[in-house]
Amino acid sequence: MITCDEFFAEFGDYLENRVSPEVRKELELHLSQCRACHVLYDSTCQTVKIVTDNSSFDLPRNISESIIGTVMAKLRADRA
Amino acid sequence: MSFLATVELGHEFLPFAAFEEDSGAVPNLLRAQSLLPRAIEGQVILEGAVRSRGVISRAQKERILLCIAAARRDVCCASLARTALRSLGEQDRQIDRLSEDHRRVDLPAAEAALLDFCLKLALHSLSVSISDIERLREHGIDDESIVEAAVTTALAIYRCTLSVGLHPEPDDGLWRLPPGGEVSVREPAAHSSSGTRSQTGPYVRAPYLSPLTFAPFVTLMNTHGFIPNFFRAQSSRPDLLAAEVELAALVLLPEDILTRAQKETILLAVSAANLNSYCVAIHGNLLRGLGMSTDEGDQIALDHHRSSLSDPDKALLDFAIKLCSQFSDFSLEDVVRLRALGFTDLQILECEVVTALNNFANVLQLGLGIEHDFESPRAFEQKKLNRRVVFDRRIGDDPSSSSIMAQAEDPDAELAAQACAGSLEAFEELIRRHSRLIYRALVAILGSQDHAQDAMQDVMLSAYQHIGGFRAQSKFSTWLVSIARNKAIEYLRRRKNEVSLDEASFDEDRDLRPRELQDWGENPEQAYSRSEIRQLIEKEIMALPAKYRVVVMLRDVEHLPTEETARQLDLSVPTVKVRLLRGRLMLRERLAPHFAAAARSAVR
């Protein structure tokens, strides 16, 4: 079985689903037998899910409309 | 006699001694590279690996090398393979018949099929598909043999490219290549794919090799920051891939003659001329890692004459492209032209070796159906599609064409064209569509929501001011983010707050190992309200260093694909991947006290 360091070396690509079937098999065998790496994998996936699902840093519509309004007014005035 | 100057290296030069011991003589093709001993050393390592142990016999490999050289009418390389075959006991008459047409020779069916495959790969590499591999399997040829055959074919192309560029005397000056007709390539019948491999590749199994203990992978991590699929796909033959890594390191890494950027530019331009999307994507990314802008790299892949390279560098690319794609017209005049521009014979030789290495990689990638590490530029894919329609090639064979066409479409294209033509309404619609993207890019770099709101107006006005310079080569949204990025960096500079998002050495962030390893339970966020979670995430993302924050923001908050994130930030994909993982792990570490605690109290 691969070591925790070897698991970690492929971890970024595994999270992004970018590993070959052969590498995936090795990583999943390791995950099934190593609690520390399992917790790491699970909590990192949850972190990504929480960040992805909560539309953070949303620009309030009134603010964006006000900025776009100011910009377009200036451009129309310049053109006139 | 050869196109380029040579020097005497003598018998004490170890690669010559090694070749001589194995084959009885040092071929003129190697002597012609004597100005650049490290290139000879690399080629001898590769040749040695190909000819040593393997599933395919040495004689079979020499027959592959002979047939490909003969099909390309390359008397020097054919003579080289002929000498080797004679030393293995092959009769002259048999060699001549093989050189004319291998199908007239009574070979076992499996070997004939293997030769058909190798010739198709050498002469029409873009039309190789899974059907060709299935046909080999029907003859009982296994994955290891397929890798060996593909590498041998690629070596034949490496030799032939150098032979065209150097024009050495054939080793057997008296032998004449028998007249051969146009080599037709046998098309395999349609096969229904069985087994677990996809139709598009990778075509062969690639057993796991450790990136931490397999020395060639360690080398690649140190030099490139990642292990390209090109090498991973050959892991059933670690000896061959180790030789290729050594050859590549000897040819590409030293900067004593041409710079690394010049060599990567040759690899990019020649891969583009060969219509090889895989290699275009990888060398475009490596050039970004060396500091070239995404737009400049895309332009070189599309048409290097319109890039901002110097005139001599453009001439060097013309030379390399002619060497690979119009080799029958290549002559001493091409060398003389480069000399007149101030290039030395040593520089010209290195350019030829790099071009040969490029052709080696292009052929091998297509022969094994090696999957892309990165997406290639959309404008290049468009050009490739047009070129392939013109040449009446079978587009359906290309694994990447349909998915890349979809990617090539920019949903903003029509509005962007109208805005370029002066429509304010179209421009207004575009900035409305992308206001949140601009905002998030600004927040990510500036690290403040208030400052981001202040900067938005400037970004939008600047976009309008420069819309005439927008070229549909990149997506409109990519172009818009590049304006936001530049404005944000300008803001920070004015506030004397230097933030660098640039590429850095690969080992900057190696120490990523997490410390906090407590279980988070099933749904850790349930302990908090949605607004509490949002506040927490925003606070912790803002606390990340800018270079990680901006990648996490575009990839995970704005949901952009990794490739698009890299293009928008003008970074290479490997750099984005390292920063994304680092950013995600830092966030995980910061969120752990909240969610691990929540999980513990939920259990209680």
Q: What is the 3-state secondary structure (H, E, C) of B280-292?
A: HHHHHHHHHHCCC
pLDDT average, residue stretch B505-511: 53
What are B492's two structure tokens?
């920070």
Q: Give how far B518 is from chain A: nearest CA, Å.
A: 7
Instruction: Please tell me the total count of domains within chain A.
Output: 1
Q: Are A26 and B592 in contact (CB < 8 Å)?
A: no
The correct CATH number of B14-177 out of 1.20.1290.10, 3.40.50.2300, 1.25.40.10, 1.10.150.130 is 1.20.1290.10
Q: Are A64 and B514 in contact (CB < 8 Å)?
A: no
Q: Which residue of A has its CA nearest to B582?
A: A12
pLDDT average, residue stretch B447-470: 90
Homologous superfamily (CATH) of B257-342+366-408 is AhpD-like (1.20.1290.10)
Nearest by CB to A40, which of B517, B525, B556? B517
**Mind listing the pLDDT tens digit for each residue in B271-319?**
999 999 999 999 999 999 999 999 899 999 999 999 999 999 999 999 9
Q: Are A56 and B431 in contact (CB < 8 Å)?
A: no
What are B54's two structure tokens?
């393997």
Q: Place A36 in a pLDDT band, splitting at 50, 70 and 90.
A: very high
Q: Are A39 and B581 in contact (CB < 8 Å)?
A: no
**Chain B, 427-456: which have a CB under 8 Å from a chain A CB?**
427-428, 431-432, 435-436, 439-440, 443, 449, 453, 456
- Distance separating alpha carbons of residues B100 and B70, to the nearest angstrom: 7
Q: Are A68 and B205 in contact (CB < 8 Å)?
A: no
**Chain B, 541-580: which have a CB under 8 Å from a chain A CB?**
541, 552-553, 556-557, 559, 562, 577-578, 580
Q: Is a pLDDT exceeding 90 seen at residue A60? A: no
Q: Are B439 and A59 in contact (CB < 8 Å)?
A: yes
Nearest by CB to A9, which of B211, B439, B534? B211
**With contacts defined as CB-CB under 8 Å, which chain A residues touch B552?**
51
% of chain B at pLDDT higher than 70? 89
Question: CA distances (Å), A49 to each of A43, B92, B538, B557, in order?
Answer: 10, 68, 14, 10
Q: For position B570, what pLDDT does the model report?
A: 87
Count the Cβ atoms, other than its own, within 10 Å of residue B390.
Answer: 8
**With contacts defined as CB-CB under 8 Å, which chain A residues touch B578?**
12
Q: Which residue has the higher pLDDT, B205 or B525?
A: B205
**With contacts defined as CB-CB under 8 Å, which chain A residues touch B541?**
51, 56-57
Q: Are A6 and B211 in contact (CB < 8 Å)?
A: yes
Nearest by CB to B581, which of A12, A22, A55? A12
Q: Which residue has the higher pLDDT, B529 or A67?
A: A67
When scoring B557, B558, B576 by the number of chain A Cβ atoms within 10 A, the one with the most, hence best to mutate, is B557
Q: Are B208 and A23 in contact (CB < 8 Å)?
A: yes
- Distance separating alpha carbons of residues B148 and B154, to the nearest angstrom: 10
Q: Is a pLDDT exceeding 60 seen at residue B223? A: yes
Q: Are A57 and B427 in contact (CB < 8 Å)?
A: no
- Distance separating alpha carbons of residues B459 and B456, to the nearest angstrom: 5
pLDDT average, residue stretch B25-39: 95
Nearest by CB to B587, which of A12, A51, A58? A51
Q: Are A20 and B513 in contact (CB < 8 Å)?
A: no
Nearest by CB to B435, which of A11, A26, A59? A59
Q: For position B399, what pLDDT does the model report?
A: 41
Q: Which residue of A has its CA nearest to B596?
A: A43
Nearest by CB to A48, which of B517, B520, B556? B556
Q: For position B172, what pLDDT does the model report?
A: 82
Torsion, Cα B24 B26 B27 B33, to 10 degrees, reads 160
E strands present in B63-160: none
pTM for this entry:
0.87
Q: For position A72, which CATH number holds?
A: 1.10.10
Q: Are B577 and A67 in contact (CB < 8 Å)?
A: no
- Distance separating alpha carbons of residues B236 and B208, to the nearest angstrom: 9
Q: Are B514 and A76 in contact (CB < 8 Å)?
A: no
Which of B353, B360, B260, B355 is CA-nearest to residue B41?
B353
Q: Which residue of B has its CA nearest to A23?
A: B208
Q: Place B216 in a pLDDT band, splitting at 50, 70 and 90.
A: very high
Its CATH architecture, for the domain B509-603, is Orthogonal Bundle (1.10)
Nearest by CB to A22, which of B207, B435, B514? B207
**With contacts defined as CB-CB under 8 Å, which chain B residues touch A56?**
534, 537-538, 541, 557
- Distance separating alpha carbons of residues A53 and B489, to the nearest angstrom: 29
Report residue B437 CA to chain centroid gap: 30
- Delimit the domains of chain B by residue range: 14-177, 257-342+366-408, 413-499, 509-603
Q: Domain limits at A59?
A: 4-79
B230, amino acid identity: F
Fold of B413-499: Rna Polymerase Sigma Factor; Chain: A (1.10.1740)
Q: Give how far B239 is from chain A: nearest CA, Å.
A: 19
Nearest by CB to B443, which of A43, A57, A64? A57
When scoring A51, A63, A64 by the number of chain B Cβ atoms within 10 A, the one with the most, hence best to mutate, is A51
Q: What are phi and psi of B279, to 5 degrees?
A: -75, -30
Q: Which residue has the higher pLDDT, B153 or A63?
A: B153
Q: Is a pLDDT exceeding 60 seen at residue B205? A: yes
Nearest by CB to A72, which of B208, B428, B435? B428
**Mind listing the pLDDT tens digit for each residue in B40-86?**
999 999 999 998 878 899 999 999 999 999 999 999 999 999 999 99
- Distance separating alpha carbons of residues B521 and B599, to the nearest angstrom: 5
- Distance separating alpha carbons of residues A72 and B220, to the nearest angstrom: 51
Size of interface A-B (CB pairs under 8 A): 136
**With contacts defined as CB-CB under 8 Å, which chain A residues touch B371?**
20
- Distance separating alpha carbons of residues B369 and A20, to the nearest angstrom: 13
Q: For position B182, what pLDDT does the model report?
A: 56
B461 touches chain A (CB under 8 A): yes
Q: Which residue of A has its CA nearest to B435?
A: A64
Q: Are A67 and B591 in contact (CB < 8 Å)?
A: no
Q: For position B475, what pLDDT does the model report?
A: 85
Which of B159, B170, B350 is CA-nearest to residue B252?
B350
**In CATH terms, are B14-177 and B257-342+366-408 the same topology?**
yes
Q: Is a pLDDT exceeding 60 seen at residue B199? A: no
